[in-house]
Each structure stands twice: as C-alpha cells, then as structure tokens.
Amino acid sequence: MITEPIKIAHISDLHILGKQDRRQLDDLDRLFAHFNISGFDHLVITGDLSNSSNPEEWRIVKEKLESHGLYHWDKTTVIAGNHDLINLEEEMRFYNALNPLPLLRKKAFDRKMAAFCTFFQELISGEEHGERAFPFVKIINYPSVRIAFVALNSVYPWYPADNPLGARGVISAGQLRALSAQSTLASLKECFVIGLCHHAYRVYGTDSLIDQAFDWTMELKNREEFLALMQTMQAKLVLHGHFHRFQSYVVNGITFINGGSFRYTPQRYSELLIAGQGEFSQKFINFGLSG
C-alpha cells in the first residue's frame, strides 16, 4: 500500500502586536486558510507568538487557530519564545526599582512559564485544563509513520549581566534529565523524532564571513548539551526560530530548520514531508507569490 507522506507546516516568531494591527491578523488568517487548503497534517509554531509577553497576544493566536479548526492537540504544537515570557522594559523597571534579587525574578519567570503552559494546555496535553509543562513529548501515530515531537523550553530568564537582552537561551538541567531518562527514550523507539526549541543551535548559519561573527546575546548557552540530547534521541530534525531567518543546516547528521519570522515575512513558511522509514524532505514556500 502506498501512503502519502505526512505534511507538517512550520512557522515561527509571529510577534503578534495586538488587535489593532489588522494587516497582521489578516495575514495570519490567510496563512491558516492556506494550510487547511493545502492539507497539512500538523502545524508547529516555534515561539515568539507574542511580541510583549502579553497573554492578550497569546489569545489572538489561540483564537485564530480555533477559528480555522487548528486548535487541537493533534493539529498544532506551540512552544514559548523569549518574547512570550520576558518583557524587557518591565524587567528593567522591576529590577531597578524593586527587586534586585535573582531568586524572586526567577520565581516570577517560572510563574509566567506556567501561565503560558496553562493557557495552551490543550495543545500540550490534549486536556483543556491541567498543568503539564515543558518538556513534553507528543507522539502521533499516522498510518505511515509514528512522529514524536519533543518540545523543550529554551527561554532563559533575564539577568542584567548574563542575559541583558533576554535573548540568550538555555535548556535547563531538569529538562535534559527528564528527556534522557530510559523510560522517555524507550517511548521514542520506532518514532521519527523531531526536536522543538525556540533558540538556534547556530546563531549564524551561512558560510559568509560576516555571518561567522558570533553574537552571544542571542546564543543557546548549552547548545552542545542540547545537540547531544538530540543525538541520544536519534532526532532527525530540530525546528527552531528566534533568529529571524529562514534557513536550514546540518549538524552531526541532524537537520536544523529555522522557521524565520511570520512578522517580517508573513507569506513564507517551511514545509516538511515525512515519509515512512525516516525519509523526509523540506522546503521553504512562498505562497500566493509566483516565481
């Protein structure tokens, strides 16, 4: 029997500005309608859904997904980006005026993270209410292939010296531990594993000289640990965003796809086709544009 490959759409960095930006909302409607017409099996959004970590901006994304019938556990997966959890202006004001203690700030960050997970709980656990959070593994059995999405949080709290722009990332030790557990690895057997993380393994991913500079304010601090985990899981693909550029690159046999930014290029997205036996293909698509 010949089965169709599984079609996954990947977008990132929506940076939704609010209800007043009609153009952005219309673009989002157009994109989601296009995904439905094209018959995608799943949509992945790799963080920075909102621009100023305002739950009202999360709500806009949720409502748009709902109105296109995409707000279901088996239809869409989202992870958080730094703009979903950190409001830089607020952090600085808060820090200067009231709260120099890193522990209290970390607590506030954890609360924000929990709020994000509660808000999008249905897409995390399949239940409307609950407290499941990162990391989570979503395994979907399609007729031709069993796909496991391994979703991590890579947002690192704001710290004045170590993370002055709130844009550095880290995968916490707890997440690395949970995902390296034998029981987790056993559940991934015979799955086509796709890692999801907001931050880039490579901040710059081209050979051009200018791109070989390294910007530490954007980096994933423990990217080598993350890569080692992805190798242990035998991940074929990692989808990320953060660095607003559409690109793909291969590291140690794992293909990394950067989903670019919907905010800046709303007609472009990444399409993945997954066949059985671990075969896949990927391309960036400009829909509605010729040439």
Binding stretches for Fe ion (CB under 5 A): 13, 48, 81-82, 242
Find out whether 175 and 58 touch, Cβ atoms under 8 Å: no
In 3D, which of 290, 284, 286 has the Cα closest to residue 266? 286
Shortest approach of Fe ion to residue 132 CB, angstroms? Answer: 23
Strand positions, DSSP E, the chain: 6-11, 42-46, 76-79, 136-141, 146-151, 192-196, 237-240, 246-251, 254-259, 268-274, 280-286
CA-to-CA dists, residue 241 to 106, 258, 286, angstroms = 24, 5, 18
Work out how close the CB of 262 gets to Fe ion at its nearest, in angstroms, rounded to a whole number: 10
Residue type, 202: R
Residue with tokens 């607003």: 244
Tokens of 154: 């890579």
Rg, C-alpha atoms of the chain? 18
41 or 48: CB nearest Fe ion: 48
Rounded to a whole number of angstroms, the minimum distance from the CB of residue 223 to Fe ion is: 15
CB of 48 to Fe ion, least distance (A): 4
Nearer to Fe ion, 26 or 264 (CB): 264
Instruction: For Fe ion, give the closer residue by CB, 236 or 242.
Output: 242
Closer to Fe ion by CB, 234 or 267: give it: 267
Q: How far is CA 140 from the centre of its chain?
A: 18
Query: Distance between CA 62 and CA 71 in Å, rounded?
Result: 7
In sequence order, the 6+-apart residues with CB closer than 8 A to the CB of 228 are: none
Q: Residue 178, SS3? A: helix
Closest CB to Fe ion among 155 and 237? 155
Residue 95 tokens read as 């820090």
d(CA 36, CA 68): 8
Least separation, in Å, of the C-beta of 261 and Fe ion?
A: 6
Q: In the complex, what is the shortest distance from the CB of residue 175 to Fe ion, in angstroms, rounded to a whole number?
A: 18
Nearer to Fe ion, 48 or 219 (CB): 48
- Least distance in Å: CB of 34 to Fe ion? 22
Which C-beta is closer to Fe ion: that of 146 or that of 244? 244
- The one-letter code for the residue type at 58 is W
